[in-house]
Structure 1
Amino acid sequence: MSTAPIDPAAAGGTGAGAILALRQVAKAHGRTKVLRDITLDVPRGQFVLLMGGSGSGKTTLVRVIAGLERPDSGTVSLRGAIVDAGAAARFVPPERRGLGMVFQDYALWPHLTCLDNILAAMPGRGPDRALRAQALLRDVAMDGLGGRYPAQLSGGQQQRIGLARALAARPDLLLLDEPLSGLDVEVRARMRDQIRRLVRGSGCSALFVTHDPVDVWRLADRVLVLDGGIIAQDAAPDGLYGRPLSPRVARMTGAEGAFPVTLARRARQWGFDAPGRFQPVTPIGLDGEGPARAYLRPEGVRVAPDGHVAIRTDVTFEAGRWRTLWRLPHLGWSVHSLEHEIPPAHALLEFDARHLFVYPES
């Protein structure tokens, strides 16, 4: 795809200083509203992860930014210039948006070799093009395989060529639509490292669509969570982890539950009454006492001298720790903890309020 971008002076724009700006973008497929009034800015050099469940609108949003779909309303701006004004006449086609794109299905040209796939995306002419293409092959650990065709490569190798081809155009914004979802665990881990290193080294911004929470901690400067076509949360990874704004986001960060509780306030602290104790919590979106739902991460559960009565019901080894399932008869809960040794069959459990989130019952 050509990356000769439009001139900002030639068109009005929004989001001054941002590489990408969306204003009240909406999109429907038939009667289904896929995107609802999306407004956001992406600064230059920022690595943004776009997360959400199936049908949340992630891929549609990326396709609208790329120009592969048109929004029903709102504006899309790149480098301060409007490239799509919804139903209005202003529209810049994908090949003039100056973007690099990496697709889930790789989208390599099957009749071209790896090297030619990269060269075809490289703008300009001159003797250094071949040298730059070879350098990109080395960058993605594909040196010596430039003469092969896509059908002769594994999925991970095709994905590397797709990344090299996207970077060949020297874009200032890279769109990656679930590029790692079809890869095995080992290849996915290597590709994460390569993507982060190459994107950082190029200085471009990136919008990376994923459903894998691991990508958040390994790649992102910023996380956008889409839910029902709206941005449910916009935060840095540590902010997302420390204060997930909805039960869906809490589950993305490892929390389990939807346990019924009655929220109360004691001595200027929020929590709920449990047998023999008051359990502090982190309340989110609540403005008063009453019925609520709790979500708890295993990281916030530990065996302690004093705590909630628990009975061990299962234990499995998981990456150096024992994931233990406990039944809490007095609360009616079943929770997990992560232990360095197999714990006793009966124990007392302590909950860290920083990992125990309570939301409105609805």
Structure 2
Amino acid sequence: MSASLTITGVSRKLGQRLVLKDISLTLGQGQFLVLAGESGSGKTTLLRLASGLDRADTGSIHIHGRLVDDAKAAFVPADKRKLAMVFQDFALWPHLSCLENVALATPPDTANRNAAAMALLDRLGVAAVARRRPAQLSGGQQQRVGIARALAAKPHLLLLDEPLSSLDMETRIKLRDELLETVREAGISALLVSHDPEDCWQLADHVAVLEGGVIRQHGAPRDLWMHPASAYIARFTGAAGGLSVPVVDGALEIGGALIRIPDKITTPRGKLFWRDGGVRMSGDGTGIAAEAISTHFDAGKFRVRWKVPGLPQPLVTFEPEPVSTGPGHIVINPEKFLLFTE
């Protein structure tokens, strides 16, 4: 079966700024792809191109094997692409009830459209508010109705533009589970734009990270965590640090010690991150001399900042118990280091 979405060599310029540069991306049938990146990275522009709300300057876009944009002659408008969208601001029709919002999106040849719409509302836990208008609902309820309306159209492809970002934490957690389960049951493919790492961990089969208008890394969530391709992706996937450190003969200079690490770079300075255990307090007085300058509780552990001679910023460790400020020692595990060229 053909891919749900194929983007080949797509670029887009807004004014004099090149927002997207030679983007190529494939979304397989039945897969959930999260498109991540900072604000201004180009992810919303790419979603607009896929949806038909904007047009590429170069390249081509296919949906289920059908050419919908070749940046020259062929262009299929949004309402003819057999896709559906869910927006951050819900975008429900305010003058209609929730049931009417969903029923109107159901294909005209559907037998008993109201019953089909009610079944979707029930599946997403909002059947009880079917007769209400959107303004009478909470944000979480409105987004559930928005998802039901999108699925009612029986799309080949579901596009979601940060649909969870305006919701409270508990609602986001619940709605992620419901969204993934509902999309899987429908057997459709989904492309979700997000800047939240939790969307990647909990929803994605694959993640594509945009930086400066290019795809910096594309792979399974575990691949991004294990082998981030940039400092931004390291931070995005939860690595601590981000320190500028000197590099001498392929080793890091930390507190007067040269630390050999697996990832070699040849520039005079590098951007250093580390996973849990990469830097920790020494319990026996050995290691690199440092000064604990602050400690505070942080999600089940104590976050300790250490001043290390020669480093412009403190190193951070996470300890099981609070640490008194003052002189001490830290231990380095270079196997848990991530180093990037500045």
What TM-score, normalized to structure 1? 0.87
Q: Which amino acid aligns with 2:64?
A: R
For structure 2, the 5+ residue unaligned runs are none
Equivalent of 1:256, from 241, 249, 258? 241
- Deviation per residue, 1:141-160 (Å, 9 max, x gap): 21210000011112221111
Change (3 A) 1:243 1:81: same
Equivalent of 2:29, from 18, 23, 44? 44
Equivalent of 1:325, from 305, 308, 322? 305
Q: Report the number of matched residues.
A: 338
For structure 1, the 5+ residue unaligned runs are 1-15, 266-270
Q: Which amino acid aligns with 2:210?
A: L
Contact 2:245 2:311 in 1 (8 A): no
Equivalent of 1:303, from 278, 281, 288? 281
Tell me by how many angstroms 1:103 deviates.
0.6
Q: Which residue of 2 aligns with 1:26?
A: 11
Contact 1:102 1:175 in 2 (8 A): yes
Partner of 1:342, secondary structure, is coil
Contact 2:296 2:322 in 1 (8 A): no
Contact 1:309 1:330 in 2 (8 A): no
Q: Which residue of 1 aligns with 2:99?
A: 115
Change (3 A) 1:293 1:127: closer
Change (3 A) 1:263 1:80: farther
Tell me by how many angstroms 1:128 deviates.
4.3
Tell me by how many angstroms 1:43 deviates.
0.7
User: d(CA) in 2 for partners of 1:236 and 1:140?
Assistant: 27
Q: Which amino acid aligns with 1:301?
A: V
Change (3 A) 1:70 1:276: closer
Q: Which amino acid aligns with 2:83?
A: L
Partner of 1:166, secondary structure, is helix
User: d(CA) in 2 for partners of 1:325 and 1:190?
Assistant: 35
Q: Which amino acid aligns with 2:141?
A: Q
Partner of 2:159, secondary structure, is strand
Equivalent of 2:56, from 71, 75, 80? 71
User: d(CA) in 2 for partners of 1:335 and 1:59?
Assistant: 35
Q: Which residue of 1 aligns with 2:211?
A: 227
Contact 2:52 2:77 in 1 (8 A): yes
Partner of 1:283, secondary structure, is coil
Q: Which residue of 1 aligns with 2:269?
A: 291
User: d(CA) in 1 for partners of 2:159 and 2:318?
Assistant: 36
Which is worse superposed, 90-99 or 193-202?
193-202
Are 2:164 and 1:180 equivalent residues in the alignment?
yes
Change (3 A) 1:309 1:143: farther
Q: Which residue of 1 aligns with 2:340?
A: 359
Q: Which amino acid aligns with 1:79?
A: H
Are 2:70 and 1:85 equivalent residues in the alignment?
yes
User: d(CA) in 2 for partners of 1:152 and 1:143?
Assistant: 14
What TM-score, normalized to structure 2? 0.92
Tell me by how many angstroms 1:213 deviates.
1.6
Tell me by how many angstroms 1:276 deviates.
6.5
Which is worse superposed, 301-310 or 75-84?
301-310
User: d(CA) in 2 for partners of 1:216 and 1:134?
Assistant: 30
User: d(CA) in 1 for partners of 2:141 and 2:132?
Assistant: 11
Q: Which residue of 2 aligns with 1:125?
A: 109
User: d(CA) in 2 for partners of 1:144 and 1:55?
Assistant: 39
User: d(CA) in 2 for partners of 1:159 and 1:299?
Assistant: 39
Are 2:321 and 1:341 equivalent residues in the alignment?
yes
Are 2:299 and 1:315 equivalent residues in the alignment?
no
Partner of 1:302, secondary structure, is strand
The root-mean-square deviation of aligned C-alpha atoms, in Å, is 2.1
Q: Which amino acid aligns with 1:103?
A: F
Q: In the TM superposition, what are the counterparts of 1:147-226 in structure 2 within 5 Å? A: 147-226=131-210
Contact 1:300 1:355 in 2 (8 A): yes
Q: Which residue of 2 aligns with 1:104?
A: 88
Tell me by how many angstroms 1:309 deviates.
2.4
Change (3 A) 1:126 1:298: closer
Contact 1:100 1:166 in 2 (8 A): yes
User: d(CA) in 2 for partners of 1:336 and 1:63?
Assistant: 40
Q: Which residue of 1 aligns with 2:331?
A: 350
Q: Which residue of 2 aligns with 1:11?
A: none
